[in-house]
Amino acid sequence: LSGIPRERRAFQFLLAHAVPGDPRHVLDTLDRWATGWEHLSGLGPLKGGGRIVARLVEERAPRRVLELGTYCGYGTVLLAMAMPPGAKLYTVEENPQHAEVAEKVIRLAGFHEEMVELIVGPSEEVIPRLRDKHGLIQADFVFMDHWKRCYLRDLKLLESHQLLVQGATILANHVLFPGAPHFLQYAKTCGRYRCRLHRSSLEY
């Protein structure tokens, strides 16, 4: 009724209640909004899918992280929190309105551009220019949380442009529901990857 998109309404709530520079409090505040007011698609609280992502990043300690699908920046903040000192995160969002909100969320959480770089544009256009335009030589951790139909295409783009280090971790969200069957089949049968499914509840 207000004419303000739900993502901007969530950010207004964040501005009023979150502690600037405290990424965990920023996520907790977004969780409060999504649980009590309006649903936001994403990873959800650390007790759910967010916990899996944070644990894997902490275990792998990647130096260069690529996120496909920023949305409002929830996953971006979670990834940045778990990265080791000196690491850099490149996050790609196709929707300019979502990217505008995500940029504010990321900076409110205390992550500067040298640590988290937000790139606006379709993933199929951004990936081929990651090395030359954005300085990403290779990624050792990739988190896919954008359009499920794009998972396989973008994985092959990363391979063809040699943007994955040997032994890189590819983490893809919601591969069973709503599902990315072609991506799963390729990952299991192409011979390049060892696959594992992590089961989690839907967010909120």
Q: Please indicate, yes or no, if residue 49 is contained in any of the structural domains.
A: yes
Own/partner long-range contacts of 47-52 (Cβ < 8 Å, ≥24 apart): 48/200, 48/201, 48/202, 48/203, 49/173, 49/200, 49/201, 49/203, 50/74, 50/75, 50/78, 52/198, 52/200
* CATH number of the domain residue 173 falls in: 3.40.50.150
Over its C-alpha atoms, the chain yields an Rg (Å, rounded) of 16
- Domain containing 44: what range? 6-190
Q: Please indicate, yes or no, if residue 86 is contained in any of the structural domains.
A: yes
pLDDT single digits (tens) 149-185? 999 999 999 999 999 999 999 999 989 888 899 999 9
The angle at the Cα of 101, spanning 42 to 68, to the nearest 5 degrees, equals: 50
pLDDT of residue 40: 77
Q: Please indicate, yes or no, if residue 204 is contained in any of the structural domains.
A: no
Q: Please indicate, yes or no, if residue 163 is contained in any of the structural domains.
A: yes
Q: Which two structure tokens, joined as six digits, stand for 9?
A: 């309404």
pLDDT of residue 44: 63
In which residue ranges of the chain is pLDDT below 70? 1-2, 42-48, 202-204
Q: Please indicate, yes or no, if residue 71 is contained in any of the structural domains.
A: yes
Q: Please indicate, yes or no, if residue 201 is contained in any of the structural domains.
A: no
- Do 94 and 146 form a contact (C-beta atoms < 8 A)? yes
What is the domain count for the chain? 1
* Residue reference for tokens 């649903």: 39
Q: Please indicate, yes or no, if residue 183 is contained in any of the structural domains.
A: yes
Q: Please indicate, yes or no, if residue 103 is contained in any of the structural domains.
A: yes
DSSP 30-49: HHHHHHHT----S---TTTH
Element (H, E) at 2: none
